[in-house]
Structure 1
Amino acid sequence: MGRTTGAAGTGEPEKKTHRRHRGRRALLATLITGAVVVPLSGAARPEIPAPAPAALAPVTAATLDEAYAANRANAAEASRMAVAHGNRERAAADRAMAAPSRHFLSFDGRGAGLATEVFGDLAHAERIAVLVPGSDTSIDTYDRFRDAARALHERLTREAPQGTGTAVVAWLGYETPATVSTTVTTAGRAEEAAPKLREFIRQLRALADRSSNTDGGPDGPAGPTGRKPRISLLCHSYGSVVCGRAAFHLDVDDIVLVGSPGTGADTAAALHTPARVWAARGSDDWVAEVPHVRLDLLGTTVGFGTDPMSPSFGARVFAAGGGGHSDYFRAGSTSLANLTRIVLGETSEVTHG
């Protein structure tokens, strides 16, 4: 068959492609300009005083309770200092974190605040999920992140095979960017966070593997199930940029990207990870409208490249239902059901979009 002549033969599709790329670049430039000129409400906020983090030795199964108690005490002191400083909202947030039922591997109430909270029995868990949050997550907004971790743990507890221990770790281990800021369009915060995440996963793997050995030694036999504990890294929004930077040979079983603006890598293979790489996006998630490009503007790389949902990226795409950007861990959602299956290792049961 001959090629159709007319508009198609004059390069019209190519022109449309160029116009589409120019449109994406224009939109991205608009976003950046808006981030620069819109005043940031938190920029002039005075620092909230808090004690230095508790000095702790590397945590083991035997010292978990000691670490939890030390971090609760630190949060209580941070609350007292916030009250003295006149910041009742931060004082209330810190005080809630000091409750006897809370289990923190780390806590730092200074500045925006950092915290790593555990849900479940980490010492005996065979299925562990680590949640990495996106922008605008801090101690002041921590409850929404905590709600996501709790929802996942509740679902894991219900659906795990009998005798299979589960735990969820909410890792707010880095200073997240503000949604309306230039930092959210660049990888600077992710590059700062990646070494911290890699070190945390190293420590978590050591803790999980030691706990699974019946003789307590590093090379002893596996635990009752005969399996090495599974660790899944669940990365939301800008958190997926952090995970992309940390992924290189990271000792996890799954890396899951939800609501991702991109990872900075062109393909899943370019992450150089032995883990399975998954991706999902709800049909009402606004991040789908963010241009998936990577540009050099005035010496700064802006944007995060290939859409993880794209076939060219090569991730295992799964269904997330009709939710929006903040709905991936909503109770009863399609995305939460699939995230639970991935964490449990029931990958053949994951539904695809």
Structure 2
Amino acid sequence: MGFASGLRRRAGRWRRAVLAALVTGAVVFPLSGAVRPEIPAPAPASLAPLSASTLAEAYAANRANAAEAARTAAAHDDRDRAATDRSLAAPARHLLRFDGRGSGRVTEVLGDLARADRIAVLVPGSDTSLDTYERFHAAASALYGQLVRQAPAGTRTAVVAWLGYETPATVSATVTTTGRAEQAAPRLRALVADLRAVAGGGPRVSLLCHSYGSVVCGRAAAGLAVDDIALVGSPGTGTDSAAALHTGARVWAARGADDWVAHVPHVSAGLFGTTVGFGTDPVSRAFGARVFAAGDGGHSDYFKPGSTSLSNLTRIVLGQTKAVTHD
């Protein structure tokens, strides 16, 4: 009995120490990701409700808005932002949403959304913004290319790169709490509803959630009309188990062998009116997800061309679940 009591006391001290470290990091470094001034840009385009018939109109309006944002950024001598906005305004880009103000919001489609049988939605993690958008776009492009190559004949695919929320900075007050995820979740749910409205015929929809994006997916998951939720490089979902997500979707999880997120403490507690930490490790047996192989990659390598993780994510999106490999 004394030994067991000692273990419990030590576990309690460890838990408090971890939470103290998380809170200290949130308090000491809150400004590290917020040094850039607000970027001026026009308000988002006013759009009709999304449907297959209004899709081309939405694309055109958002490209025009991105072009105007590029001119505004250039007038304020922000060459990098102007270049990003100009790239998004190109005729080949398909933007469901665009807002060039501040850190920026973009929802971009790769493929023919209106006719897709399989749709993958990429939900990004911390430090993703218009200033880093091309890196996020590269991940979406790699997935789309793999889907095109791997899809059975006659299967049509689309990828949606969803930068639809203000992501936290990696070192900030917000990255250890669920606050940004709770704000983002209704927007992710609205996106899925839009995709269902545009793509007739009941396409298969998968959420691929990276890093802090898995917290967003965790907050949005309950009752959401998606078929699969894949968590990669996840610090946790804010819940203790896959069952606690209250989703009918298959829940998957993977972590690369060189991913630093393995060392993030998997604890969760209410502090100062918010929740600090994200609960059970999604790749643990206790969480109850379908754990798949992600190879030897690091935290930013899940969508790297030729990687084990990208191959398995592609199989999940295509519904080829028996072909998904495991460690």
Give the TM bin, normalised by the shorter chain: over 0.9
Counterpart mapping for 1:261-280 below 5 A: 261-280=235-254
Partner of residue 203 from structure 2, selected from 222, 229, 243: 229
Say if 1:151 and 1:295 are closer, same or farther in 2 by CA, change over 3 A. same
Q: Which amino acid aligns with 1:244?
A: G
Asked if 1:167 is matched to 2:140, the reply is: no
> Whole-Å Cα distance in 1 between the matches of residues 276 and 32 of structure 2?
23
**SS at structure 2 position matched to 1:140:** helix
- Contact 2:52/2:197 (<8 A) preserved: no
Larger radius of gyration: 1
Q: 1:288 aligns with which of 262, 277, 294?
A: 262
TM-score by length of 2: 0.95
Amino acid at match of 2:185: A
Helix, strand or coil: the match of 1:161?
coil
Where structure 1 has 5 or more consecutive residues not aligned to the other structure, the ranges are 1-8, 213-227
Measured in 1, the distance between the counterparts of 2:293 and 2:5 equals 32
Give the distance between the partners of 2:257 and 2:266, measured in 1 at CA. Answer: 17
Higher RCO by CA contacts (8 Å cutoff, separation 6 or greater):
2
Could you tell me how far apart the structure 2 residues matched to 1:317 and 1:129 are?
19
Q: How big is the shift at 1:317?
A: 0.6
In structure 1, what is the equivalent of residue 277 of structure 2? 303
Partner of 2:305: 331
By how many angstroms is 1:100 displaced? 1.3
Amino acid at match of 2:284: S
Tell me which residue corresponds to 1:146. 137
1:352 is the counterpart of 2:326: yes
- 1:132 matched to 2:128? The reply is no
Question: What is the CA-CA distance between 1:31 and the residue it aligns to?
Answer: 3.8
What TM-score do you get using the length of structure 1 for normalisation?
0.89
Deviations, residues 306-351 of structure 1 (Å, cap 9, x unaligned): 1111111111111111111111000011100100000000001001
Tell me if the contact between 1:236 and 1:259 (Cα under 8 Å) persists in the aligned partners: yes
How far apart are the structure 1 equivalents of 2:30 and 2:9?
Answer: 33
Q: Which runs of at least 4 in structure 1 moved beyond 2 Å after TM superposition?
A: 13-32, 38-46, 296-300
Contact preservation (8 Å) 2:209, 2:232: yes
User: How far 1:25 sits from its partner (Å)?
Assistant: 4.2
Give the superposition deviation at 1:27: 3.8
Unaligned runs of 5+ in 2: none
Amino acid at match of 2:98: F
User: Structure 2 counterpart of 1:132, which letter?
Assistant: V
Deviation digits for residues 274-318 of structure 1 (CA, Å, limit 9, x no counterpart): 100111111111111111101233333200111111111111111
Shift of 1:168: 0.3
| Residue 72 (structure 1) aligned to one of 49, 54, 63 | 63
Identity of aligned residues (%): 72
Distance 1:159 1:72 in 2: 30
Matches within 5 A, 1:1-353: 11=3, 15=6, 18-19=9-10, 22-23=13-14, 25-38=16-29, 40-209=31-200, 212=201, 228-353=202-327
Alpha-carbon distance between aligned partners in 2 of 1:95 and 1:206, rounded to the nearest angstrom: 29
